[in-house]
Structure 1
Amino acid sequence: MPKLITKNKFAKSDYEIHSIYEAGISLLGWEVKSLRAQNVKLDNAFCSISNKNEIWLNNMHISQYMLVKGELDRSRKLLMHSKEILRLKNLIDRLSLIIIPISIYWVNNRIKVEIALAKRLKKYDKREKIKQEEIKRSLKTIY
Protein backbone atom coordinates (compact mmCIF):
# COMPACT_ATOMS: atom_id res chain seq x y z
CA MET A 1 0.00 0.00 0.00
CA PRO A 2 1.51 3.36 -1.00
CA LYS A 3 2.24 5.84 1.77
CA LEU A 4 1.65 9.41 0.62
CA ILE A 5 4.46 11.92 1.22
CA THR A 6 2.99 15.01 -0.44
CA LYS A 7 0.41 16.06 -2.99
CA ASN A 8 0.29 18.90 -5.50
CA LYS A 9 -2.64 20.96 -4.22
CA PHE A 10 -3.05 22.99 -7.40
CA ALA A 11 -2.95 20.12 -9.90
CA LYS A 12 -6.65 19.26 -9.89
CA SER A 13 -7.90 22.86 -9.89
CA ASP A 14 -5.45 24.51 -12.31
CA TYR A 15 -5.04 21.72 -14.87
CA GLU A 16 -7.17 19.37 -16.93
CA ILE A 17 -5.50 15.98 -16.47
CA HIS A 18 -5.41 13.64 -19.48
CA SER A 19 -3.41 10.63 -18.27
CA ILE A 20 -1.38 9.61 -15.22
CA TYR A 21 1.98 7.79 -15.07
CA GLU A 22 4.25 6.52 -12.29
CA ALA A 23 8.00 7.20 -12.28
CA GLY A 24 10.90 6.58 -9.95
CA ILE A 25 13.11 9.47 -8.89
CA SER A 26 16.86 9.81 -8.41
CA LEU A 27 17.64 11.53 -5.09
CA LEU A 28 20.58 12.20 -2.80
CA GLY A 29 20.71 10.77 0.74
CA TRP A 30 19.78 13.97 2.56
CA GLU A 31 16.85 14.49 0.15
CA VAL A 32 15.42 11.08 1.07
CA LYS A 33 15.70 11.91 4.78
CA SER A 34 13.99 15.23 4.19
CA LEU A 35 11.21 13.47 2.26
CA ARG A 36 10.71 11.11 5.21
CA ALA A 37 10.07 14.21 7.30
CA GLN A 38 7.67 15.41 4.55
CA ASN A 39 9.61 18.63 3.93
CA VAL A 40 8.81 18.99 0.23
CA LYS A 41 6.71 21.31 -1.95
CA LEU A 42 5.34 20.54 -5.42
CA ASP A 43 3.51 23.83 -5.98
CA ASN A 44 5.52 25.18 -8.93
CA ALA A 45 7.04 21.91 -10.08
CA PHE A 46 6.98 20.74 -13.69
CA CYS A 47 8.70 18.11 -15.81
CA SER A 48 10.73 18.52 -18.98
CA ILE A 49 12.14 16.05 -21.49
CA SER A 50 15.73 16.62 -22.60
CA ASN A 51 17.25 15.93 -26.02
CA LYS A 52 18.71 12.66 -24.68
CA ASN A 53 15.17 11.38 -23.96
CA GLU A 54 15.57 11.84 -20.22
CA ILE A 55 12.77 13.26 -18.12
CA TRP A 56 13.63 15.81 -15.41
CA LEU A 57 11.59 17.18 -12.51
CA ASN A 58 12.20 20.91 -12.08
CA ASN A 59 11.29 23.41 -9.31
CA MET A 60 10.49 20.78 -6.68
CA HIS A 61 11.58 22.31 -3.39
CA ILE A 62 13.04 19.91 -0.81
CA SER A 63 13.86 21.67 2.45
CA GLN A 64 17.31 21.38 3.99
CA TYR A 65 17.80 18.39 6.29
CA MET A 66 19.63 19.21 9.54
CA LEU A 67 22.99 20.83 8.73
CA VAL A 68 23.48 19.34 5.27
CA LYS A 69 24.07 21.96 2.60
CA GLY A 70 22.86 21.28 -0.90
CA GLU A 71 20.85 22.70 -3.76
CA LEU A 72 17.23 22.86 -2.66
CA ASP A 73 15.59 23.42 -6.06
CA ARG A 74 17.86 21.39 -8.32
CA SER A 75 16.54 19.35 -11.24
CA ARG A 76 16.01 15.69 -10.41
CA LYS A 77 15.99 12.85 -12.91
CA LEU A 78 12.85 10.74 -13.19
CA LEU A 79 13.27 7.05 -13.95
CA MET A 80 11.01 5.69 -16.68
CA HIS A 81 11.36 3.28 -19.59
CA SER A 82 12.54 4.92 -22.80
CA LYS A 83 9.39 3.78 -24.66
CA GLU A 84 7.22 5.56 -22.09
CA ILE A 85 9.30 8.73 -22.40
CA LEU A 86 9.00 8.66 -26.20
CA ARG A 87 5.23 8.18 -25.91
CA LEU A 88 5.03 11.16 -23.55
CA LYS A 89 7.18 13.27 -25.88
CA ASN A 90 4.93 12.48 -28.85
CA LEU A 91 1.77 13.33 -26.91
CA ILE A 92 3.28 16.60 -25.69
CA ASP A 93 4.21 17.64 -29.22
CA ARG A 94 0.94 16.53 -30.80
CA LEU A 95 -1.55 17.81 -28.20
CA SER A 96 0.54 20.66 -26.71
CA LEU A 97 0.33 19.32 -23.17
CA ILE A 98 2.67 19.69 -20.19
CA ILE A 99 3.85 17.20 -17.58
CA ILE A 100 3.19 18.02 -13.92
CA PRO A 101 3.84 16.00 -10.75
CA ILE A 102 0.68 15.12 -8.84
CA SER A 103 2.05 13.35 -5.78
CA ILE A 104 5.08 11.70 -4.21
CA TYR A 105 4.71 8.48 -2.24
CA TRP A 106 6.52 5.40 -0.90
CA VAL A 107 6.08 1.97 -2.52
CA ASN A 108 8.15 -0.92 -1.10
CA ASN A 109 10.80 1.44 0.35
CA ARG A 110 11.12 3.30 -2.95
CA ILE A 111 10.03 6.82 -3.65
CA LYS A 112 7.71 7.18 -6.63
CA VAL A 113 6.37 10.28 -8.34
CA GLU A 114 2.94 10.31 -9.93
CA ILE A 115 3.10 12.52 -13.01
CA ALA A 116 0.31 13.57 -15.33
CA LEU A 117 -0.09 14.85 -18.84
CA ALA A 118 -2.17 17.97 -18.39
CA LYS A 119 -3.41 21.12 -20.03
CA ARG A 120 -3.51 24.37 -18.08
CA LEU A 121 -7.02 25.72 -17.58
CA LYS A 122 -7.88 29.29 -18.43
CA LYS A 123 -9.67 31.44 -15.87
CA TYR A 124 -13.08 31.01 -17.52
CA ASP A 125 -12.55 27.22 -17.66
CA LYS A 126 -11.90 27.22 -13.89
CA ARG A 127 -15.11 29.15 -13.30
CA GLU A 128 -17.06 26.71 -15.46
CA LYS A 129 -15.56 23.77 -13.55
CA ILE A 130 -16.57 25.32 -10.21
CA LYS A 131 -20.14 25.90 -11.50
CA GLN A 132 -20.42 22.25 -12.59
CA GLU A 133 -19.21 21.05 -9.17
CA GLU A 134 -21.76 23.28 -7.40
CA ILE A 135 -24.56 21.94 -9.61
CA LYS A 136 -23.56 18.34 -8.81
CA ARG A 137 -23.40 19.15 -5.10
CA SER A 138 -26.84 20.78 -5.12
CA LEU A 139 -28.34 17.82 -7.00
CA LYS A 140 -26.95 15.43 -4.38
CA THR A 141 -28.57 17.40 -1.57
CA ILE A 142 -31.93 17.49 -3.38
CA TYR A 143 -32.08 13.73 -4.07
Structure 2
Amino acid sequence: MNKDEIALRKKSPVQIRNKKASFEYFFVDTYTAGIVLTGTEIKSIRAGKASLVDSFCFINKGEMWLQGMNISPYFYGSYSNHEAKRTRKLLLSKREIRRLEEDAKSPGYTIVPTLVFIDQNGRAKVDIALCRGKKEYDKRETLKAKEDRREMDRALKRY
Protein backbone atom coordinates (compact mmCIF):
# COMPACT_ATOMS: atom_id res chain seq x y z
CA MET A 1 0.00 0.00 0.00
CA ASN A 2 1.52 3.31 -1.05
CA LYS A 3 1.04 6.81 0.36
CA ASP A 4 -1.53 7.81 -2.27
CA GLU A 5 -3.81 4.89 -1.38
CA ILE A 6 -3.59 5.72 2.33
CA ALA A 7 -4.42 9.39 1.61
CA LEU A 8 -7.44 8.40 -0.49
CA ARG A 9 -8.76 6.17 2.28
CA LYS A 10 -8.55 9.01 4.76
CA LYS A 11 -10.58 11.20 2.36
CA SER A 12 -13.28 8.55 1.91
CA PRO A 13 -16.70 9.87 2.94
CA VAL A 14 -17.54 6.53 4.57
CA GLN A 15 -15.22 4.77 7.01
CA ILE A 16 -16.76 1.99 9.05
CA ARG A 17 -14.16 0.61 11.47
CA ASN A 18 -13.96 -2.54 13.55
CA LYS A 19 -12.54 -0.94 16.70
CA LYS A 20 -12.82 -4.14 18.69
CA ALA A 21 -10.47 -5.99 16.31
CA SER A 22 -7.42 -3.85 17.16
CA PHE A 23 -8.05 -4.51 20.85
CA GLU A 24 -8.52 -8.27 20.47
CA TYR A 25 -5.83 -9.08 17.84
CA PHE A 26 -2.35 -8.30 16.57
CA PHE A 27 -2.50 -7.53 12.82
CA VAL A 28 0.05 -9.63 10.95
CA ASP A 29 -0.83 -8.80 7.34
CA THR A 30 -3.53 -6.68 5.66
CA TYR A 31 -5.32 -6.93 2.32
CA THR A 32 -7.92 -4.83 0.50
CA ALA A 33 -10.84 -6.70 -1.08
CA GLY A 34 -13.96 -5.78 -2.98
CA ILE A 35 -17.39 -6.85 -1.71
CA VAL A 36 -20.21 -8.32 -3.80
CA LEU A 37 -23.27 -6.25 -2.84
CA THR A 38 -26.83 -5.68 -4.02
CA GLY A 39 -28.26 -2.26 -4.90
CA THR A 40 -29.78 -1.42 -1.54
CA GLU A 41 -26.69 -2.62 0.37
CA ILE A 42 -24.37 -0.12 -1.29
CA LYS A 43 -26.88 2.67 -0.58
CA SER A 44 -26.95 1.74 3.10
CA ILE A 45 -23.13 1.66 3.26
CA ARG A 46 -22.92 5.09 1.64
CA ALA A 47 -25.32 6.31 4.33
CA GLY A 48 -22.99 4.82 6.98
CA LYS A 49 -25.51 2.23 8.18
CA ALA A 50 -23.17 -0.76 8.57
CA SER A 51 -21.29 -2.47 11.37
CA LEU A 52 -18.32 -4.86 11.50
CA VAL A 53 -18.78 -5.93 15.12
CA ASP A 54 -18.43 -9.73 15.54
CA SER A 55 -17.74 -10.25 11.83
CA PHE A 56 -15.09 -12.61 10.46
CA CYS A 57 -13.87 -14.03 7.16
CA PHE A 58 -13.62 -17.64 6.07
CA ILE A 59 -12.51 -19.51 2.97
CA ASN A 60 -14.81 -22.04 1.31
CA LYS A 61 -13.94 -23.82 -1.95
CA GLY A 62 -11.27 -21.30 -2.89
CA GLU A 63 -13.48 -18.25 -2.27
CA MET A 64 -13.31 -15.71 0.56
CA TRP A 65 -16.56 -14.96 2.43
CA LEU A 66 -17.49 -12.32 5.01
CA GLN A 67 -19.82 -13.51 7.79
CA GLY A 68 -21.60 -11.38 10.38
CA MET A 69 -21.33 -7.94 8.79
CA ASN A 70 -24.51 -6.01 9.55
CA ILE A 71 -25.79 -3.68 6.81
CA SER A 72 -29.08 -2.11 7.89
CA PRO A 73 -31.96 -2.28 5.39
CA TYR A 74 -32.20 0.81 3.18
CA PHE A 75 -34.91 3.17 4.45
CA TYR A 76 -36.32 3.92 0.98
CA GLY A 77 -36.00 0.32 -0.21
CA SER A 78 -39.16 -1.56 -1.04
CA TYR A 79 -39.72 -5.26 -1.63
CA SER A 80 -36.18 -5.47 -3.05
CA ASN A 81 -34.51 -4.70 0.29
CA HIS A 82 -31.70 -6.99 1.44
CA GLU A 83 -31.14 -9.17 4.51
CA ALA A 84 -29.15 -7.36 7.19
CA LYS A 85 -26.70 -10.16 8.13
CA ARG A 86 -26.19 -12.32 5.07
CA THR A 87 -22.91 -13.91 4.04
CA ARG A 88 -21.12 -11.75 1.45
CA LYS A 89 -18.44 -12.76 -1.03
CA LEU A 90 -15.10 -10.92 -1.03
CA LEU A 91 -13.10 -10.35 -4.19
CA LEU A 92 -9.42 -11.26 -3.90
CA SER A 93 -6.96 -12.87 -6.30
CA LYS A 94 -6.43 -16.64 -6.10
CA ARG A 95 -2.87 -16.12 -4.96
CA GLU A 96 -3.96 -13.91 -2.05
CA ILE A 97 -6.68 -16.37 -1.03
CA ARG A 98 -4.23 -19.30 -1.13
CA ARG A 99 -1.70 -17.37 0.98
CA LEU A 100 -4.36 -16.39 3.53
CA GLU A 101 -5.69 -19.96 3.68
CA GLU A 102 -2.23 -21.37 4.43
CA ASP A 103 -1.51 -18.75 7.10
CA ALA A 104 -4.93 -19.03 8.76
CA LYS A 105 -4.49 -22.80 9.26
CA SER A 106 -1.86 -22.07 11.91
CA PRO A 107 -3.29 -22.24 15.45
CA GLY A 108 -4.21 -18.85 16.92
CA TYR A 109 -4.63 -17.07 13.58
CA THR A 110 -7.84 -15.77 12.03
CA ILE A 111 -8.98 -13.38 9.30
CA VAL A 112 -10.92 -10.30 10.47
CA PRO A 113 -12.35 -7.29 8.57
CA THR A 114 -10.98 -4.02 9.94
CA LEU A 115 -12.40 -1.22 7.74
CA VAL A 116 -15.11 -0.68 5.12
CA PHE A 117 -14.67 2.36 2.88
CA ILE A 118 -15.73 3.75 -0.50
CA ASP A 119 -12.86 4.06 -3.01
CA GLN A 120 -12.38 6.89 -5.52
CA ASN A 121 -14.50 5.01 -8.11
CA GLY A 122 -17.47 4.74 -5.75
CA ARG A 123 -17.04 1.03 -4.97
CA ALA A 124 -17.24 -0.43 -1.48
CA LYS A 125 -14.00 -2.04 -0.32
CA VAL A 126 -13.07 -3.84 2.87
CA ASP A 127 -9.66 -4.07 4.53
CA ILE A 128 -9.11 -7.52 6.02
CA ALA A 129 -6.26 -8.57 8.26
CA LEU A 130 -4.62 -11.84 9.12
CA CYS A 131 -4.62 -11.65 12.92
CA ARG A 132 -3.14 -13.40 15.91
CA GLY A 133 -5.13 -13.28 19.15
CA LYS A 134 -3.88 -11.21 22.07
CA LYS A 135 -3.48 -12.61 25.55
CA GLU A 136 -5.06 -10.91 28.56
CA TYR A 137 -1.82 -9.15 29.56
CA ASP A 138 -1.42 -7.80 26.01
CA LYS A 139 -4.88 -6.26 26.21
CA ARG A 140 -4.06 -4.58 29.52
CA GLU A 141 -0.84 -3.23 28.01
CA THR A 142 -2.79 -1.81 25.04
CA LEU A 143 -5.25 -0.07 27.37
CA LYS A 144 -2.43 1.40 29.45
CA ALA A 145 -0.63 2.76 26.37
CA LYS A 146 -3.88 4.29 25.10
CA GLU A 147 -4.54 5.94 28.46
CA ASP A 148 -0.98 7.32 28.61
CA ARG A 149 -1.37 8.84 25.12
CA ARG A 150 -4.63 10.49 26.20
CA GLU A 151 -3.01 12.01 29.30
CA MET A 152 -0.10 13.34 27.25
CA ASP A 153 -2.50 14.95 24.76
CA ARG A 154 -4.45 16.57 27.60
CA ALA A 155 -1.23 17.92 29.13
CA LEU A 156 -0.14 19.39 25.77
CA LYS A 157 -3.51 21.08 25.24
CA ARG A 158 -3.30 22.87 28.61
CA TYR A 159 -0.08 24.67 27.66
Instruction: Report the TM-score range of the alignment, normalised by the length of the smaller protein.
Output: 0.7 to 0.9
Aligned residues: 141
Asked whether the equivalents of residues 15 and 118 of structure 1 are also in contact (C-alpha less than 8 Å), the reply is yes
Q: Among 33, 37, 40, which residue is 1:30 paired with? A: 40
**Amino acid aligned to 1:123:** E
Distance 1:10 1:136 in 2: 18
Q: Could you say which residue in structure 2 is the equivalent of 1:11?
A: 21
User: Who is 1:123 aligned against?
Assistant: 136
Confirm or deny: 8 A CA contact 1:56 1:78 kept in the other structure: yes
- Flag the 1:85–1:130 CA change in 2: closer, same or farther, 3 A: same
Consecutive unaligned residues in structure 1, runs of 5 or more: none
The answer on whether the counterparts of 1:5 and 1:35 sit within 8 Å (CA) in structure 2 is no
Taking structure 2 as the reference length, what is the TM-score of the superposition?
A: 0.79
Within the alignment, does 1:43 sit opposite 2:53 as a pair? yes
CA drift of 1:110 comes to 1.2
> Could you state the TM-score of these two structures normalised by the residue count of structure 1?
0.87
Q: Give, in angstroms, the shift of residue 134 of structure 1.
A: 5.3
Partner secondary structure for residue 106 of structure 2: helix
Task: Determine if the alignment matches structure 1 residue 97 to structure 2 residue 106.
Answer: no
Q: For 1:136 and 1:5, how far apart are their aligned partners in 2?
A: 23
Q: Which has the higher strand share?
A: 1
Cα RMSD (Å) of the superposition? Answer: 2.2
**Deviation (angstroms), 1:137:** 7.2
Contact 2:118 2:125 in 1 (8 A): yes
CA distance in 1, matches of 2:55, 2:123: 20
Would you say the 8 A contact 1:97–1:119 is kept in 2? yes
Counterpart residue type for residue 65 of structure 1: Y
Cα 1:39–1:136 change in 2 (3 A) is closer
In the alignment, is the contact (CA less than 8 A) between 1:56 and 1:76 conserved in 2? yes
State the shift of 1:95 in Å.
Answer: 5.1
Q: Kindly, what percent of the aligned residue pairs are identical? A: 39
Contact kept? 2:66, 2:90, Cα under 8 Å: yes
